[in-house]
């Protein structure tokens, strides 16, 4: 057997070396911007991976269960290597900035949930950030200068939350053992009789004796959007 460097080697090395700025840089490249909740995701992911001491090659060695789809989740995906595409990421639509990261071999896990007072404490550490956040992000009423100022300030907040504020002040942390869901199933592909596209067999419906996809069948299917998981239907 020959040695084959994992493409995640750089990230795994940064996890072991607790190189938070380096890890944040990786996370920014998929998130597109730098913000405090991305920094929190990076920090939580780093803590969990160091605790579990399990390399992840995207073969479900590690599973991350997130309870929200916000900036935090992108930090988790990059650092833990548990993604939507490799089935290592499980999404629970609970609306909490929280994650449980588990090692499949024995179910050892750690859950981190952002402290209920976190927002209040964060804004009190950076008094200029609160009003600007309200104006620019919540009310969408910032001028271009406000927006520019906000981005600078917000990046500064993210870096300080990453490197200067202790993890224990930001998160409630517990270790536990969980039962993991089964490995992702590999299913056959069928061809929809109407649109001719390939479809996973579990998503095929029979209509008038024909195999059709949910979209062609006009049936409801689940959709994850910024609103969370909901039902949708082709119109
Ligand atoms: Zn963000
Ligand atoms: Zn179809």
CA separation for the pair 210, 192 (Å, rounded) = 8
pTM of the model: 0.91
Would you list the domain boundaries of the chain? 9-177, 189-232
- Helix 20-31 vs helix 71-80: crossing angle, to nearest 10: 120
| Ligand 1 geometric centre to CA of 35 (Å) | 5
Can you give the length of the chain in residues? 235
E strands along 39-170, which residues?
Answer: 62-66, 89-91, 98-103, 108-114
| Ligand 1 geometric centre to CA of 38 (Å) | 6
| Ligand 1 geometric centre to CA of 104 (Å) | 29
Give the pLDDT of residue 86: 93
In this structure, what DSSP letter does residue 202 have? G
Q: Give the H/E segment covering residue 145.
A: helix 144-163
Give the pLDDT of residue 235: 66
| Ligand 1 geometric centre to CA of 182 (Å) | 31
Ligand nearest to the CA of 70: 1
CA separation for the pair 60, 89 (Å, rounded) = 9
Give the pLDDT of residue 188: 96
CA separation for the pair 122, 40 (Å, rounded) = 12
Pairing label, strands 221-225, 210-213: unpaired
Give the pLDDT of residue 37: 97
| Per-position pLDDT tens, the chain of length 235 | 566 778 899 999 999 999 999 999 999 999 999 999 999 999 999 999 999 999 999 998 999 999 999 999 999 999 999 999 999 999 999 999 999 999 999 999 999 999 999 999 999 999 989 999 999 989 999 999 999 999 999 999 999 999 999 999 999 999 999 999 888 888 999 999 999 999 999 999 999 999 999 999 999 999 999 888 999 887 6
CA separation for the pair 159, 134 (Å, rounded) = 20
- Token look-up 């950076």 returns 126
The CATH architecture of the domain made up of 9-177 is 2-Layer Sandwich (3.30)
Task: Tell me the H-state helices in 116-222.
Answer: 118-125, 129-133, 144-163, 167-170, 214-217
- Token look-up 């004796």 returns 209
Encoding tokens for residue 198?
């390939």
């Amino acid at each position: 057997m020959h040695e084959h460097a994992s493409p995640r080697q750089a990230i795994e090395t940064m996890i072991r070396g607790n190189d938070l700025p380096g890890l944040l840089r990786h996370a920014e490249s998929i998130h597109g911007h730098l913000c405090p909740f991305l920094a929190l995701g990076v920090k939580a992911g780093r803590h969990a991976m160091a605790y579990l001491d399990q390399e992840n090659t995207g073969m479900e060695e590690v599973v991350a269960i997130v309870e929200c789809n916000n900036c935090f989740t992108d930090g988790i995906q990059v650092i833990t290597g548990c993604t939507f595409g490799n089935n290592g990421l499980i999404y629970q639509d609970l609306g909490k900035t929280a994650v449980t990261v588990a090692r499949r071999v024995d179910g050892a896990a750690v859950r981190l949930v952002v402290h209920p007072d976190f927002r209040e404490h964060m804004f009190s550490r950076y008094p200029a950030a609160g009003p600007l956040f309200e104006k620019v992000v919540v009310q969408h009423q910032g001028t271009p200068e406000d927006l520019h100022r906000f981005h600078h300030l917000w990046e500064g907040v993210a870096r300080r939350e990453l490197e200067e504020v202790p993890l224990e002040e930001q998160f409630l942390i517990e270790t536990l053992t969980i039962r993991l869901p089964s490995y992702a199933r590999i299913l056959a592909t069928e061809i929809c009789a109407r649109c001719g596209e390939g479809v996973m067999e579990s998503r095929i419906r029979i209509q008038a004796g024909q195999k059709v996809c949910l979209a062609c069948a006009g049936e409801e299917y689940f959709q994850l959007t910024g609103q969370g998981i909901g039902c949708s239907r082709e119109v």
